[in-house]
Structure formats: C-alpha cells, structure tokens
C-alpha cells in the first residue's frame, strides 16, 4: 500500500523526539527530562469552568473563529501584555493549539517553491509544516557563542528573491534563548526593507526569567503589518491536552487562515474555549506561580551543570536548557543513546531540532524537583 502514500509525506523524516522516546517507552525505571510540557495540572478554576460549560449544555460548535467572548479576551490580553491592538472580529483566530496556527499560517502564504527561513535549532514541526505547505525550508543556524540568539546578519545572509517568510520562536524551544530588545530592533530594521512575512511563535511568551517581560516583534515599527503572532494556552496555563491556541495578525492574512481553518477544523473544541476564557480572565496569578517554580528549577539545573563541568549558557526563557556535550567526544545521538542505555535517563539529542543542534542536548525542567535531582545524579554518573 505504500505506493499510495504521497511523495511529500514519504520524504518527511520521522520526528527525532518520537524515535527516541519510542525506545525509552519500552524500558523500565527510566527517568526523563525529555518532554516539553508542564508537569502541572491545569489550575482547578479553569477545569471547573470547562466542566460547568458542559453542565450548561455548551456542547455545540462555536463560530469558526472561536467564541466572541474568548476573542475579546485574547484581544485584551494582546493589548495589555504586548501593546498590540487586534480587532477581535477580524484579527483573532482561535485554533487547535499553536500547532494548527503554525500549519495554517504557512499554508496561507506559501506558493510552491517559496522559501521560508527557519531559525534553528527549532521546534520539530516547523520544517515538516513548510514542506507540507509546498515550500522550501532554509535553515538559519544560530550558535551557542551568541546564546542561540539569531542576528539580523544571520537572516540577511539567507534572504533570496524567493524568500516569503521567516519563522521566529523566542523564547525558544529547544534552547531556552530569548531575544533582547536590541536584537529585535535590528531584525525589524532588516525586515522592514523586505517583503517578507514574519511568523512569530510566542507560545513561551509568559515564561521568561530575566528583568524584562517578553516583547513581541510585532510591536516594532513596521512589523505589525507583516507579522503573524502565534500563541496558545498549552505552556503558560499548563493546558497541553486541551488543544487550544490562537493566531493574531493583519486582516488579509487572517482571512486566508480563517478560510483553511473553517474547512479543516470548523472550530476549536468548545469545552476548551470555555477553559481558555477562564484562564485569560483569572489565571494570570497561576501563570506567575508556575513561572516562579520553573525559575527555581532552572537555576538549580544550571548550577548543577556548572558543578559537573557541563557547559551551558544561561537560558532565560521557556523551560529548557541546552547544554553542550561536545567535550565528551560524542555526537548528540550517541550521547543520548548511551545515557539512556547505561543510566536510564532520557534527554533529547540536539539534532532533533536541526543539524546545528549537534553537540547539544535538550533538558526540560518541566519536571518536579525530585525528578530533576534524580536525573542529574544519573547524568553525573554517566559523564
């Protein structure tokens, strides 16, 4: 039957994370720092509102774009939090996670052969989604020497007449890197000169640990008109299983995305939308409590890496550290395979996020401090 499978899908490589965790799932006594999702349960008041929505018999489709109360709340959030004004009726779309947002943003803009600059290391779905949309993914590698911050020069080097878009993700998965105001300013200055759409995945916007809160590239002069901002509830509110996200952007692009969304999704799950509404209305103190907890774990892990002699830059976003394992004389895949086999510790090889991730491993601190302690003990034994 494989002759029926489309060539595009055949050509997609399997996810480097899945491949690895399928092996780990077969083993006993495995400790993991591998998964990129909060270990917290969604705060009770959010779950309660969702349950209540069912009791109230809200079991039907909502409008394609999402419930208007939720879009109003998203619009308010984007304004309060990032100073960005989006019309809830034409510039906000509620999606099935940020994942759907990434997919429809790419499909809405790509013509066959268009190039999309993908800043790497990056979330595993970017390159496959570009390919599935008929585009050509062009890697823009970032370096540990620059704390994995992409520079305007890195992007400039890869721009060609075929470049349609650039995908940014800060705070970053897998490195935990963030961009400073000055970095964004220079990138915005470059992009203002080009007809290029920015797809800015800001799913980790609430999880930063420096002095300044996250700034969206859409808030820089000339960027609002060309930026699609993708965000969602999974990470900030510990709502991964609810499958709820949103996209905001210029109306023409939103209209194109809404067209795809209405045919393939209809609307995001109604029960999840009620949960999301409560999350935005009353959940920010929960976000802050979880952020503080992640920050404590981040500092602990960084400190332990330092004591073990493992080189790691101080990541200030998301819930990942991306230490170098170069000094141990192995590539990422071999390091992770041996670490799993010899110490039953699962971490993700940096290569799962792009070739420039070789020599690094992704360690998530979205785990309890006890799990992290046990994991680091095993890592110490291994090295």
31 φ/ψ angles, rounded to the nearest 5 degrees: -105, 140
From 94, 104, 166, 203, residue interacting with ligand PLP (rule: CB under 6 A): 203
Q: Does residue 123 bind ligand PLP (CB under 6 A)?
A: yes
For the beta carbon of residue 228, count every other beta carbon within 10 angstroms: 27
Reported for 322-329, long-range contacts at CB under 8 A and 24+ positions apart, including other chains, are 322/121, 322/144, 322/148, 322/174, 322/175, 322/176, 322/177, 322/350, 322/357, 322/360, 322/361, 322/362, 322/363, 323/360, 323/361, 323/363, 324/144, 324/359, 324/360, 325/359, 325/360, 325/361, 326/359, 328/383
Q: Does residue 201 bind ligand PLP (CB under 6 A)?
A: yes
Applying CB under 6 A, the span of 96-104, 215-223, 261-269, 341-349 interacting with ligand PLP comes to 96-104
From 208, 216, 240, 273, residue interacting with ligand PLP (rule: CB under 6 A): 240
Q: Does residue 176 bind ligand PLP (CB under 6 A)?
A: no
Task: Please report how close the Cβ of residue 169 comes to ligand PLP at its closest, in angstroms.
Answer: 5
Which residue's C-beta sits nearest to ligand PLP?
97
Q: Does residue 234 bind ligand PLP (CB under 6 A)?
A: yes
| 3-class SS of residue 187 | helix
Q: Using CA of residue 102, residue 236, residue 226, residue 253, what is the dihedral sign? A: positive
Q: Which residues, in sequence order, are bridge partners of residue 137?
A: 116
Read off the DSSP letter of residue 153: H
Q: Which is nearer to ligand PLP, 37 or 374 (CB)?
A: 37
Q: Does residue 99 bind ligand PLP (CB under 6 A)?
A: yes
From 50, 93, 98, 196, residue interacting with ligand PLP (rule: CB under 6 A): 98
Task: Please report how close the Cβ of residue 192 comes to ligand PLP at its closest, in angstroms.
Answer: 25
Q: Does residue 38 bind ligand PLP (CB under 6 A)?
A: no
Q: Does residue 273 bind ligand PLP (CB under 6 A)?
A: no
From 66, 245, 275, 354, residue interacting with ligand PLP (rule: CB under 6 A): 245
253-to-57, 110, 264 alpha-carbon distances in Å: 34, 12, 17
Structure tokens at 322: 């991306």
**Contact set for ligand PLP, span 309-338 (CB under 6 A):** none
C-alpha closest to that of 177 among 145, 199, 154: 145
Task: Please report how close the Cβ of residue 98 comes to ligand PLP at its closest, in angstroms.
Answer: 3
User: Residue 67: CB partners within 8 Å, gap ≥ 6?
Assistant: 94, 270, 273, 274, 277
Q: Which is nearer to ligand PLP, 343 or 347 (CB)?
A: 347
CA distance 79 to 375: 40
Task: Please report how close the Cβ of residue 104 comes to ligand PLP at its closest, in angstroms.
Answer: 12
Q: Which is nearer to ligand PLP, 98 or 325 (CB)?
A: 98
Applying CB under 6 A, the span of 66-74, 95-103, 284-292, 363-371 interacting with ligand PLP comes to 95-103
Structure tokens at 338: 């041996």
CA distance 191 to 198: 8
Per the CB < 8 A criterion, the answer to whether 263 and 315 are in contact is no
Reported for 54-58, long-range contacts at CB under 8 A and 24+ positions apart, including other chains, are 54/271, 58/270, 58/271, 58/274
Residue count, binding to ligand PLP (CB under 6 A): 13
Q: Does residue 147 bind ligand PLP (CB under 6 A)?
A: no
Q: Which is nearer to ligand PLP, 135 or 232 (CB)?
A: 232
Applying CB under 6 A, the span of 12-20, 211-219, 232-240, 309-317 interacting with ligand PLP comes to 232-240
Q: Does residue 36 bind ligand PLP (CB under 6 A)?
A: yes
From 53, 173, 200, 364, residue interacting with ligand PLP (rule: CB under 6 A): 173
Q: Does residue 366 bind ligand PLP (CB under 6 A)?
A: no
Q: List residues near ligand PLP by CB under 6 A.
A: 36, 97-99, 123, 169, 173, 201, 203, 232, 234, 240, 245
């Amino acid at each position: 039957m494989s002759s029926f499978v489309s060539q595009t899908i055949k050509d997609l490589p399997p996810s480097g994370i899945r491949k690895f965790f399928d092996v780990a799932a077969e083993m006993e006594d495995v400790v993991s720092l591998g998964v990129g999702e909060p270990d917290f349960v969604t705060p009770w008041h959010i779950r309660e509102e969702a349950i209540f929505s069912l009791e109230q018999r809200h079991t039907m489709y909502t409008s394609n774009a999402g419930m208007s109360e939720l879009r109003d709340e998203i619009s308010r959030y984007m304004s309060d939090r990032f100073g960005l004004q989006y019309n809830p009726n034409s510039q906000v779309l509620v999606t099935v996670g940020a994942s759907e947002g990434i997919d429809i943003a790419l499909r809405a803009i790509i013509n066959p052969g268009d190039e999309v600059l993908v800043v790497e290391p990056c979330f595993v779905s970017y390159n496959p989604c570009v390919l599935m949309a008929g585009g050509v993914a062009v890697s823009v590698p970032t370096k540990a020497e620059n704390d994995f911050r992409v520079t305007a020069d890195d992007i400039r080097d890869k721009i060609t007449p075929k470049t349609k878009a650039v995908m940014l993700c800060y705070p970053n998965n897998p490195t935990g890197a963030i961009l400073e105001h000055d970095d964004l300013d220079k990138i915005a200055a470059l992009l203002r000169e080009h007809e290029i759409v920015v797809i800015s995945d800001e799913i980790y916007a609430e999880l930063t640990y420096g002095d300044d809160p996250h700034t969206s590239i859409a808030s820089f002069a000339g960027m609002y008109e060309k930026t699609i901002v993708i965000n969602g509830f999974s990470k900030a509110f510990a709502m991964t299983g609810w499958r709820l996200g949103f996209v905001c952007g210029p109306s023409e692009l939103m209209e194109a995305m809404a067209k795809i969304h209405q045919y393939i999704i209809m609307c995001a799950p109604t029960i999840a939308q009620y949960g999301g509404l409560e999350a935005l209305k009353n959940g920010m103190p929960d976000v802050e409590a979880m952020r503080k907890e992640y920050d404590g774990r981040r500092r602990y892990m960084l400190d332990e890496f330092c004591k073990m002699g493992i080189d790691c830059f101080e990541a200030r976003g998301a819930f990942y550290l991306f230490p170098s394992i170069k000094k141990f004389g192995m590539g990422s895949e071999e390091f992770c395979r041996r670490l799993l086999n010899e110490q039953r510790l699962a971490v993700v090889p940096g290569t799962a996020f792009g070739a420039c991730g070789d020599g690094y491993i992704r360690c998530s601190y979205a785990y309890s401090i006890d799990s992290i302690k046990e994991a680091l003990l095993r890592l110490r034994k291994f090295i």
